[in-house]
Amino acid sequence: MIELDGVSHWYGQRQVLADLTLSLGERRVGVVGSNGSGKSTFARLLNGLLVPGEGQVRVDGLDTRKQGKAVRRKVGFVFQDPDVQIVMPTVGEDLAFGLKHRGQDKAEIARRVDAALAQYGLAELREHPAHLLSGGQKQLLAIAAVLITEPTHVIFDEPTTLLDLGNRRRIARLIRDMDQQVVVVSHDLDLLADFDRVLVFDRGRVVADGKPDGCIATYQAMHPPL
Ligand SMILES: Nc1ncnc2c1ncn2[C@@H]1O[C@H](COP(=O)(O)OP(=O)(O)OP(=O)(O)O)[C@@H](O)[C@H]1O
């Protein structure tokens, strides 16, 4: 369960989120809204990458302000741009990185890396330089590198923006089949169509909140075709 209690946020003098109070308990929560409406800021608050200027964010009862490290172990974050997330020279090493950081033993790391390479169709790329992967392969690697650490919640900030149709569908399937709670910020409305709940952001506020059909229709009505 992710809870926001009276959350507002500012960059300098500029308010970008205004008094959000929400309980997110559904398994798949989508977030849509215009450019600059505050979605990425909201996403970053959920795993403590940012702490709110005002109010409280709690993940399974842990306060992101006071227990940030514990929250970040629970909540994985997949960035829009996989280049900011890929930190090691090869695909295999990149997958192992988060596990080493968490002090896992060698045998367990090897077991989990093998499993992840197979699961994400990356087995032939184990020794491949990570920065030479295609955009779609990098995105898959970035997602795999988060999921391998077994977070209980995963936040995706526009995970399909760089992807072709085939890889978009692959990520959509992966998100559909995940056991963890996921919060997905996306401009890809098809991706969110079968989610449990969708939030529509406008100028730092949630202006619609409910099942995808109604919320996506509300969002589309805010932007009528020319
Ligand atoms: N680090 C920052 N410093 C100052 N202003 C920022 C910073 N990050 C975002 N902003 C501003 O805050 C507002 C909300 O940005 P945010 O990235 O949360 O919106 P968004 O809904 O995710 O937009 P997009 O759909 O374009 O990704 C924007 O006006 C943006 O310019």
Q: Tell me the ipTM for this assembly.
A: 0.96
Give 88's Cβ-side CA count (13 Å radius). 18
Tens-digit pLDDT string for the chain (226 aa): 999 999 999 999 999 999 999 999 999 999 999 999 999 999 999 999 999 999 999 999 999 999 999 999 999 999 888 888 888 889 999 999 988 888 888 999 999 999 999 888 888 888 999 989 888 888 889 999 999 988 999 999 998 887 888 888 888 888 888 899 999 999 999 999 999 999 999 999 999 999 999 999 999 998 877 7
- Going along the chain from its start, the domains and CATH numbers come out as 2-222 (3.40.50.300)
- Ligand 1 binding pocket (C-beta < 6 A) is 11, 16, 33, 35-41
Which DSSP symbol is given to 83? G
Ligand 1 atom having least distance to the Cα of 37: 21
- Return the percent helix, strand and coil in the chain, to nearest 5: 40, 30, 30
State the Cα torsion 191-116-26-193 to the nearest 10°. 10
| Ligand 1: centre distance to CA 11 (Å) | 9
The helix (H) or strand (E) run that includes residue 209 is: strand 205-210
Nearest to 184, CA basis, from 15, 46, 36, 3: 46
Look at ligand 1, atom 25, and give the residue with the nearest C-alpha.
35
Secondary structure (H, E, C), 156-175: EECCCCCCCHHHHHHHHHHH
